[in-house]
Amino acid sequence: MHSPLTGDFPNYRPRRLRGSDTLRRMVRQTRLHPDQLVLPLFVRTGRKIRDEVQSMPGVFQLSIDEAVREAASAQKAGVLAVILFGIPSKKDVRASGAYAKNGIVQKAIRQIKKDVPGLLVITDVCLCEYMSHGHCGLIKKCGKEQLVDNDSTLKLLAKTALSHAEAGADVIAPSDMMDGRVATIRRELDSNSFKEIPIMSYAAKFASAYYGPFRDAAESVPQFGDRKSYQMDSANAEEALREVALDIQEGADIVMVKPALAYLDILYRVKSEFGYPTAAYAVSGEYSMIQSAVKRGWIDEQALTMESLLAMRRAGADIIITYSAIKAANWLKN
């Protein structure tokens, strides 16, 4: 780790490694590989639908048949996993669509598992896409205030997770940030013979303006208030470590930090503190910022995307969820 900064080293050349690109390639300390990437998919009802999300060029709301095609091209590019988000045709105040046996995600899981064998299907477990008010949990009235009720929400999350497992999901990824959800979901899966299904927990998820375009894509903008009562304050690093510790105690198999680029310090600390399998979510806003500059010809998409993904790896991410997964995997091949 130490370089000689003083003394007599006549042959020492600071910083630059002599020799060829080949040698530089051999001693690269961080590597990016398609195996590490996860592609998010937004699934909706209908057939042959590929609706581009306005704020996310290249990202689509897909009907199940189209989602299968997208999943297949991810696999062809070398991507091993997708993460599914559902856009139901109806929303209500109990998020019934989230745990319906024939809900949009449940159907998509079955179809993708059938038509794209070998591809790992991760499911995002949250209620906001299915709630008429767009919050991640049940609302209770407290005088004039409407609050998200942590404890009653847990039952619905467990129900949702179980329905995904029953449909054939390989990994369950709760993203709601309610306290105690990992333990509750773990218990539900275990007592229904799904002991072997891993939980990838959105453990350190910050209340972030970077989620804006996602809420367009998933049609899940909160109708009142914000998510600050359950998502974390972006000022708090120690709290993030506590959240991660709790999720590990509750049985999380993989812990996630989200967003990625603006939270590389958190990623680094989570990986060094716990040494656990760690995921980073390069969120919608990160993607949209790059795309909008690309559209104007202001930056080089490939160079910037790869540099950003590499930075997440350097900071400690084993897995990266990114809307650029297919492109990145193809760039890595060539």
Instruction: Name the site residues for ligand PBG (rule: CB under 6 A).
Output: 124, 126, 128, 136, 175-176, 211, 214-215, 227, 283-284
Work out what residue 135 binds among Zn ion, ligand PBG, none; the CB cut-off runs from 5 to 8 Å by kind: none
115 vs 177 by CB, closer to ligand PBG: 177
Q: What angle do CA 214, 220, 226 make, to 5 degrees?
A: 95
Please identify the residue of the shown chain whose CB is closest to the bound ligand PBG.
Answer: 214
What residue ranges in 64-210 does DSSP mark as E strands? Answer: 81-87, 120-125, 138-142, 145-149, 171-174, 200-205
Which listed option, Zn ion, ligand PBG, none, makes contact with residue 94 (CB within 5 to 8 Å by class)? Answer: none
Least distance to ligand PBG from the beta carbon of 104, Å?
Answer: 15
Phi/psi class of residue 117: alpha, beta or left (left: φ > 0; alpha: ψ in -120 to 50)? beta
If you search the block for the tokens 């680029």, which residue do you land on?
261
Active site residue 48: no
Interatomic CA distance for residues 156 and 282, integer angstroms: 27
Residue 283 interacts with, from ligand PBG, Zn ion, none (CB under 5-8 Å by kind): ligand PBG
Applying CB under 5 A, does 98 fall inside the site for Zn ion?
Answer: no
Which residues within the stretch 126-165 sit at the binding site for Zn ion (CB under 5 A)?
Answer: 126, 128, 136
The DSSP H or E segment spanning 123 is strand 120-125
Q: What is the nearest approach in angstroms of ligand PBG to the Cβ of residue 156?
A: 14
Select from 125-133, 238-246, 256-264, 289-297 the region that touches Zn ion (CB under 5 A): 125-133
State the virtual CA torsion across 306, 329, 288, 221 in degrees, nearest 10: -130
- What is the smallest separation between the CB atom of 175 and Zn ion, expressed in angstroms? 6
130 or 263: whose CB is closer to Zn ion? 130
State the DSSP code for 259.
Answer: S
Burial environment of residue 140 by CB neighbours within 10 A (0 to 12, 13 to 18, 19 or more): middle
Q: How far apart are CA 95 and CA 74, in angstroms?
A: 30
> Which residues lie closer than 8 Å to 49 by C-beta, 6 or more apart?
61, 62, 63, 66
Which CB atom, from 32 or from 283, has the smaller least distance to ligand PBG?
283
**Is 195 labeled as catalytic in the residue annotation?**
no
φ and ψ of 212, to 5 deg: -45, -55
- Measured from the CB atom, is 36 or 153 closer to Zn ion? 153
178 binds, among ligand PBG, Zn ion, none (CB under 5 to 8 A by kind): none
Annotated active-site residue in 205, 271, 295, 327: 205
In whole angstroms, give the CA distance from residue 116 to residue 72: 6
User: Residue 263 binds which entry of ligand PBG, Zn ion, none, with Cβ cut-offs from 5 to 8 Å by kind?
Assistant: none
Backbone torsions φ then ψ of 325, nearest 5 degrees: -55, -45
Query: Nearer Cβ to ligand PBG, position 127 or 162?
Result: 127
Asked if residue 280 lies in contact with residue 319, where contact means CB atoms within 8 angstroms, the answer is: yes
- Nearer to ligand PBG (CB atom), residue 70 or residue 176: 176
CB of 273 to ligand PBG, least distance (A): 24
Write out the catalytic residue numbers.
205, 258
Which residues lie near Zn ion (CB under 5 A)?
126, 128, 136
